[in-house]
Structure 1
Amino acid sequence: MEPKFKQEIQQMMYIAGETQEVSVQTTKLIEEIIRDQVVHMLRIANDLAARRGSRVFSNNDLIFQVRHDKARVERLRIFLTWKAIRRTVKDSDEKEGFVDEADLEENVVAPADDAPAGGKTKLPTVTLPWDAASYFSEQVTEASQEDLVEITSNEAALEKLRRNDERTRDMTVAEYATWSEYRHASLTYRKAKRFREWCGLGVIAENKPNDDVMDILGFLTSEMVQKLTAQALKVQKQEALRLGEETAMTGEDRGSKTGLGGLFAEPEGLRKPVDKFSTSLLAVADDT
C-alpha cells in the first residue's frame, strides 16, 4: 500500500539532508513510525483531558507531553507566536486595508517611524499553564517588539539556524532551491481530513475546534521526520567509518573488490539513500 504522505515525507527527509531518492518501503516505514507516535500522543492527551473532566483535549495537553524538552517547547512557542501575529495582522488587514508581508517582517524588529516616542507596539504572546508567570494573579497578556526579538533570538532558534546552515552548506544552487521549496512540507496544512483519518483524530481523541491542535501536530510530525532522518544519516555515516569505507556503499561485488567499475557501476563516492532494511534506519526506529 502506498504511503498516504509519501511526497510530504520525502520532502521533509530532503530538508533533513537526505538528498537521494528514497524507496517507497522506506517512506512507508517512516510514516508508520510517525503515526504510532501521533497516536500515542493523542491517547495521552485524551487521558489528560479526562483528568480535568473534559471530553476534548487542548493545545496544552499536547505541549505538556514535551515540556521537559525545553528547546522543542521554545520552538513551539515561537511557531504559535508567529501564527498569532499573522492572525492579528490578517484581522487588521480586513479593517484597515492590505499590508505587505515584507513590510510586516521589517516592522516586527523595528518600530515604525510614526510610532509614538517611548511607545511599544503590543504583539500576541503564548503562555503555558506550567510557566512560572501563571502562578501570579496578574498576567502580562501581550509582548512588545523587543520581547519578540528576544524570543526569536534564543538558543533554540539559533540552534535550528545552525543545523540548517550545516545541511545547506555544501548544496548546489539547484539543491538549495529545492530545499527552500520543501521547507513548507506539512502533513496537516490543507490536508486536515486526510490527516484525521490517518491518525485517528476524532476517534481516539477529539480536540477543541478552535484550537491550534492541527498546526501543533503538523509542526511536531515535521520535526519527527527530520530528526529520524538526521539520526539515520548519522548512523549510516558511522557504519561507513566502521567498515573502513568513505561511502555508504554496501555489498562486495567484483567491482568493489578489484576496484574496477563496469558500464552500469555506480559513480565513485555516491552515497546510498537511507534504506528500510539498513541498520541505520532500523537502529533509529528502535530508539524512537
Structure 2
Amino acid sequence: MAKFTSRYSNEIQHMMFVAGETQDVSAETLTLVEQILSSASELAARRRKRVISIYDIIFQVRHDTARVARIQKLLRWRAIRREAKKSNKEANGDVDIDEDDLSDDPLESPPNEEAVVKKTETPAAILPWDIESFFSVVPPGGDTNESLLDAPSDVSLKTLRWADEITKNMSKKEYDRWFTHRKASFITRKPKRFREWAGIGVVFQVLKKDDTLEIIGFLAAEMVKRLTDIALAIQAQHLTAHRKRKGQSAATLGTRRYGMFVPIDTGRSPIDIVHIRRAFDETQMKPKRKGVRLSRIPGKRTLELI
C-alpha cells in the first residue's frame, strides 16, 4: 500500500482555525484529517458508475436537509455569478472576471439584484425526486425558485450569529487573519491538484460543465470544520473530567467557549489524533432504533459521509 502524502496541511490548518482551533495543530493530526477526507472516495467507488453528477452527491446526503439546502443555494449563486460574468463581458467588451475570486462562502455578500432577476434557475434547484421534476417545462420564478434564495434557514442564521459573536471583539489585525483563513479552499486556484488528490479520473469522472468538482470541495471543507468542532467538544469534556478529578472548583470547569479570540486557556493543548479519531467515530454512529432483531449477528457497517 502506497504511503499517504499530505497535500493540504496548510488549507486544513486554516479551516480548523476558522472552526475554533486557534492553537498550532501537529502535522500528524492534520494528516489524519486529510486521510479521513480522502477515504470518502470509497463511497464513489461503491456506486460502480464512471461519471458522478451533482444529483449523485445530493443523493448521498439526502437525509440531511440542511446540507442539501446549502448545496442547492451554493449552486444557484454560482449560476447567478456566471450570468453576471457573462453580462459584464457583453456590456464592457470581453472584460474577464476570474470565477475563482467569487467566494463560495455563504457568509459573504451575494451578487447584485440585477443578476438575480435575469437568471436564477439551475439544474439543482429541482431535485429528481421532487414533483416539479416530472414536468418538462418549469416556469421561471415561483416558490421553488425563490425560497432557496430568500428564506434564510435556521442553520444559516445560526452560522451568521456565530460569526458575529466571535468577531465582534476582534481587533483589526485579528479580523484580517480570520477573514483570510475563512477563504481557505481545496479547489480555488488549484483544481488540478484537487482532482489528483480526490482520485478524479481514476476512481470516477465528473462533467466539466457541471459544478460537481466545486461541490466536492465544498463538502470536504465542511467535513474539516465539523471534525474540528466535534474534536474540540470532546477535548473540552476530557478537560472537564480531568479537572474534576483534581478537585478544581466548578467555576473553573465550564464548557467549551465558542470564540476564537477569547483568553487562551493555558491548560488546553491543541487537539490531537485521539480527539480526531473520536470525532470521526461519532460521525459514523447511527441513531439506535428499537426493533426486532432476528439474529445476534451485527449488520455490515457502512462508511458514512461526515
Q: TM-score, normalised by structure 2?
A: 0.71
Change (3 A) 1:171 1:22: farther
Counterpart amino acid of residue 178 in structure 1: R
Equivalent position to 1:124, from 97, 120, 125:
120
Equivalent position to 1:66, from 37, 40, 61:
61
Structure 2 counterpart SS, 1:124: coil
List per-residue Cα deviations over 1:146-201 (Å, max 9, x = no partner).
Answer: 92785462323213223333444565543322111111111112222211221211
Q: Which residue does the alignment assign to 1:43?
A: 45
Structure 2 counterpart SS, 1:274: coil
Change (3 A) 1:36 1:169: farther
Change (3 A) 1:238 1:268: closer
Equivalent position to 1:33, from 16, 36, 40:
36
- Counterpart Cα distance in 1 of 2:8 and 2:23: 18
- Length, aligned pairs only: 248
Matches within 5 A, 1:1-288: 3-37=6-40, 39-44=41-46, 46-47=47-48, 50=49, 55-97=50-92, 105=110, 107-108=112-113, 121-125=117-121, 126-142=125-141, 147=146, 150-151=149-150, 153-168=152-167, 171-244=170-243, 246=252, 269-276=266-273, 278=274, 280-288=275-283
Counting aligned pairs with the same residue, the percent is 38
Counterpart amino acid of residue 12 in structure 2: I
Change (3 A) 1:84 1:158: same
Q: Which residue does the alignment assign to 1:257?
A: none
* 8 A contact 1:16–1:230 mirrored in 2: yes
Larger Rg: 1
RMSD: 3.1
- Counterpart Cα distance in 2 of 1:99 and 1:105: 19
List per-residue Cα deviations over 1:90-131 (Å, max 9, x = no partner).
Answer: 000110126999xx95742xx79xxxxxxx934323322122
Q: Deviation at 1:238?
A: 1.1
* 8 A contact 1:16–1:167 mirrored in 2: no
Change (3 A) 1:79 1:132: same
Q: Structure 2: which 5+ residue stretches go unaligned?
A: 103-108, 255-263, 284-306
- Counterpart Cα distance in 1 of 2:43 and 2:230: 21
Q: Structure 1: which 5+ residue stretches go unaligned?
A: 113-119, 249-266
- Counterpart Cα distance in 2 of 1:199 and 1:99: 29
* 8 A contact 2:77–2:110 mirrored in 1: no
- Counterpart Cα distance in 1 of 2:193 and 2:142: 36
